[in-house]
Homo-oligomer: A and B are copies of this chain.
Amino acid sequence: MRIVLIGAGNVATHVGSRLKSSGVELIQLYSHSIQSAQALGSLLEIPFTNTLKKVVTDADVYIYMLKDSVLQEVSTQIDARNALHIHTAGAVSIDIFKGKKKNYGVLYPLQTFSKTKAVNFDEIPLFMEANNEFSLNILEKVAYSLSSNVYILSSEKRKYLHLSAVFSCNFTNYMYLLAGKLVNKAGLDYNILLPLIEETARKLKSLTPYEAQTGPAVRDDKNVIYSHLELLKNDEKLSEIYKLLSESITAEFNNVSFG
């Protein structure tokens, strides 16, 4: 199984490194940026190019790990008729390849990747979708060389999964970011929050988020909420976020108790 990697961003870096360490044969890397192509190509010790026409056409698998907005354009320009073409984008349908490729699929890793932070691939759930049996067969081999935590999921359902990842990862990280600004106002370093942040995540191993919810909004403790809004009065955006989330939590838990 000879694989070409298309892309040199966060996903390509981690997927490429993992495939290499699993002993999969990586034969080339493409990125539109020569710097990125060189950086990741060197790391993986494989040939790289920033010219689409120089991408080899005789590989078995092409894995597109690109921004959603350029996925269509780049994949159309790679002509390898009998190969399997896979993208890794949670929010993009498998149909982006329809009528353009013979064998295609999706392999979506439910994880957050930053270039400089190692991840434990074994625990990452992977969601597969393929257009036919032949594609599924090869896709499975790629998937299991990355993780043993592999599922089949349709594009329709994957949309919701991807959206849930935005809430549980991207928006969560943004809460950390906002908390960091506030903790600085207390004259303290960001690190002071880490035990709280870790425990908040860890709680979910034994409690549901409903059971784990604490704080003034779930208690509908208006005194505390007003004193917080007073502290935020000079920051319109942050006040708005605080109000909307607190109202929403209060409503959620009142509905639960009376429902």
Write the residues of chain A forming the contact surface with B, with a CB cutoff of 8 angstroms.
10, 67-69, 91, 110-114, 116-117, 119, 123-125, 151, 153, 157-183, 185-188, 190, 192-219, 221, 223-224, 227-228, 231-232, 237, 240-242, 244-245, 248-249, 251-252
- Chain A binding site: helix, strand, loop or mixed by DSSP? helix
**With the chains together, A176 CA to B187 CA distance in Å?**
29
State how many copies of this chain the complex holds: 2
**With the chains together, A171 CA to B183 CA distance in Å?**
15
Given A117-B203, A195-B110, A231-B159: A10 in contact with B214 (beta carbons within 8 A): yes
Ordered by A's residue number, 19 sampled pairs between the chains whose C-beta atoms are within 8 Å are A68-B221, A111-B195, A112-B199, A114-B211, A116-B211, A153-B186, A157-B185, A160-B231, A166-B215, A166-B217, A167-B176, A168-B196, A169-B214, A170-B215, A173-B212, A174-B249, A175-B175, A180-B208, A201-B201
> Chain B residues near A223 (CB, 8 Å)?
68-69, 91
Q: Is the CB of B112 within 8 A of A203?
A: yes
Q: Is the CB of A112 within 8 A of B169?
A: no
Most chain B CB within a 10 A radius of its CB, from A173, A182, A219: A173
**With the chains together, A199 CA to B176 CA distance in Å?**
13
Closest to A157 in B: B186
> Chain B residues near A204 (CB, 8 Å)?
176, 190, 194, 197
Most chain B CB within a 10 A radius of its CB, from A116, A151, A166, A206: A166
Q: Is the CB of B172 within 8 A of A176?
A: yes
**With the chains together, A157 CA to B237 CA distance in Å?**
21
Shortest distance from the beta carbon of A163 to any chain B beta carbon, whole Å: 5
**With the chains together, A3 CA to B224 CA distance in Å?**
28
Shortest distance from the beta carbon of A159 to any chain B beta carbon, whole Å: 6
**With the chains together, A143 CA to B240 CA distance in Å?**
36
Q: Is the CB of B114 within 8 A of A214?
A: yes
Given A170-B249, A201-B200: A176 in contact with B113 (beta carbons within 8 A): no
Q: Is the CB of B219 within 8 A of A193?
A: no
Q: Is the CB of B214 within 8 A of A170?
A: yes
Residue from B116, B185, B240 within 8 A of A244 (CB atoms):
B240
Q: Is the CB of A199 within 8 A of B232?
A: no
Q: Is the CB of A110 within 8 A of B68?
A: no
Q: Is the CB of A157 within 8 A of B187?
A: yes
